[in-house]
């Protein structure tokens, strides 16, 4: 007796996300990422100078530009979330692209805020996975 892959997945309890549930889940995670990214930008603007010390060196630099970049990225992520929630046809692809750009920006921010950067990158990877794998046909696996 043969079993189709859909039946095997169903028997194993693996169901791919579909429809409204996947949109809400991906949107909620992406909104969390947008809010955290925006707050990182606000904190960067509030703490204008950063002193970094290491073995044999110490330097001070301004992070105002990074603050504005993070705040702008947070706003763009939030706009993509709104497009996802209103079910715009282009929203899924745009959300994946914007989230990839947010990962790049967060990766560049990593030397200054490593723990927060790792959390944001992990969250963004989960968002991309959720956006890329949800089933838009409405069928469950």
Residue 109 lies in a domain: yes
Alpha-carbon Rg of the chain, whole angstroms? 19
Task: Give me the residue label for tokens 């890329």.
Answer: 132
What residues make up the domain containing 51? 29-133
Whether residue 6 lies inside any domain: the answer is: no
Q: Give a yes or no: residue 24 inside a domain.
A: no
pLDDT in the model for residue 108: 84
Structure tokens at 81: 């979330």
Mean of pLDDT over the chain: 79
Is 95 within the bounds of a domain?
yes
pLDDT-based confidence at 78, cuts 50/70/90? very high
Contact predicate 96/128, CB 8 Å = yes
Residue 45 lies in a domain: yes
Note whether residue 105 is domain-resident: yes
What percentage of the chain carries pLDDT values higher than 70?
A: 70
Confidence of residue 138 (pLDDT cuts 50, 70, 90): low
Rounded mean pLDDT of 104-113? 84
Number of separate domains in the chain: 1
Summarize the confidence of residues 112-132 as an average pLDDT. 90
Residue 14 inside a domain? The answer is no
Q: Could you give the CA distance from residue 73 to residue 67 in angstroms, rounded to a whole number?
A: 10
């Amino acid at each position: 007796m043969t079993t189709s892959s859909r039946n095997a997945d169903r028997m194993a309890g693996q169901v791919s996300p579909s429809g409204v549930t996947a949109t809400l889940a991906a949107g909620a995670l992406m909104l969390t990422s947008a809010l955290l990214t925006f707050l990182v930008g606000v904190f960067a603007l509030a703490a204008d100078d950063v002193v970094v010390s290491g073995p044999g060196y110490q330097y001070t630099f301004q992070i105002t530009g990074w603050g504005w970049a993070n705040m702008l990225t947070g706003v763009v992520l939030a706009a993509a979330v709104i497009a996802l929630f209103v079910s715009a046809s282009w929203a899924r692809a745009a959300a994946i692209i914007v989230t990839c750009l947010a990962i790049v920006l967060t990766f560049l921010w990593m030397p200054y805020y490593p723990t927060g950067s790792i959390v944001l990158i992990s969250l963004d990877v989960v968002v991309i996975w959720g956006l890329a794998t949800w089933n838009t046909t409405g069928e469950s696996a």
